[in-house]
Structure 1
Amino acid sequence: MKGSCLCGCVTYEVTGPLRPVIACHCVQCRKTSGHFVAASQAAKGDLHITGGEHLTWFRSSETAKRGFCAVCGSQMFWEPDGKDVVSIMAGTLDGATGLRIASHIYCESKGDYYELPQTESD
């Protein structure tokens, strides 16, 4: 699976499996994306980045950082401290992915301008 930022300065390839997509509605994800974040995840060792000199990391909390293209501003990655995984923004993946949204998290923080799908527990 391959992907890139909007301008193409940062590209990547994932050589291992990708987790199903998680939709995060937390305030940080809303602020960084302008809506909510939909992200897959891979092992750090399976992510191979080209153009890393254009990738900027922002420490968004005490426990994680976010990677974005310094040229076009595309939000690309979310990396938790102390774990061997990196989340990959699903919209940066090229072509058909075969992935699906598996769950929504931090739903209590979602914007009031959209509705979430109902689940059996709702």
Structure 2
Amino acid sequence: MHRGSCLCGAVRFTVEGELRAPDACHCGKCRKHSGHYFVSTDVPRSAVTLEGADKVTWFQSSEKARRGFCSVCGSSLFWDPLQRDWIGIAMGAFDTPTQTRVALHIYLANKGDYYELEEGTPRFDTIPPKPHESSA
């Protein structure tokens, strides 16, 4: 079980099971949402228990996704792809070690000029299909 929360603790969550390797998104929307690039793990919705859901504010950032943050402290917590059976949870919101490593970087064409990336992690200018998603 993995536990996490926002900065002020008004929103808390638990995730049952293992976490998938996270991806790091460098798109402009993720950079604006998080203040840097956004690193998240994709978790089946059924594995997440949320406390303080009334303190999560959702911003519809595109036709396909919304972003969730704490309405009290402003912590970026979720990336929610509508019509999917999973939700992205910000790695920085976990309270305990996750035993994961970033699996890939996406949307590098939008990467900020003020940081460099470690060598060896796969990089893409767009988003490749996620292994746990069907292409249908």
Structure 2 length as normaliser, TM-score? 0.85
Structure having greater relative contact order (Cα 8 Å, sep ≥ 6): 1
Q: What's the C-alpha RMSD, in Å, of the aligned pairs?
A: 1.6
User: Which residue identity is paired with 1:42?
Assistant: V
Q: Deviations over 1:19-54 (max 9, x none)?
A: 111010000001111111011111001011001110
In structure 1, the partner of 2:101 is 100
Is 1:91 the counterpart of 2:92 in the alignment? yes
In structure 2, the partner of 1:50 is 51
Alignment check: 8 A CA contact 2:102 2:121 kept: no
Alignment check: 8 A CA contact 1:16 1:42 kept: no
In structure 2, stretches of 5+ residues that fail to align are: 124-136
Which whole-Å CA distance do the structure 2 matches of 1:53 and 1:39 have between them?
22
Structure 2 CA distance for partners of 1:67 and 1:121, relative to 1, 3 Å: closer
Deviation of 1:81 (Å): 1.3
Instruction: Count residues with an aligned counterpart.
Output: 122
Which whole-Å CA distance do the structure 2 matches of 1:13 and 1:119 have between them?
31
SS in 1 for 2:97: coil
In structure 2, the partner of 1:66 is 67
Structure 2 CA distance for partners of 1:70 and 1:115, relative to 1, 3 Å: same
In structure 2, the partner of 1:76 is 77
Identity of aligned residues (%): 47
Which whole-Å CA distance do the structure 2 matches of 1:77 and 1:52 have between them?
12
Q: Quick check: which one's strand share is greater?
A: 1
In structure 1, stretches of 5+ residues that fail to align are: none
In structure 2, the partner of 1:7 is 8
Alignment check: 8 A CA contact 1:58 1:65 kept: yes
SS in 2 for 1:45: helix
In structure 1, the partner of 2:132 is none
Structure 2 CA distance for partners of 1:75 and 1:8, relative to 1, 3 Å: same
User: Which residue identity is paired with 2:106?
Assistant: I
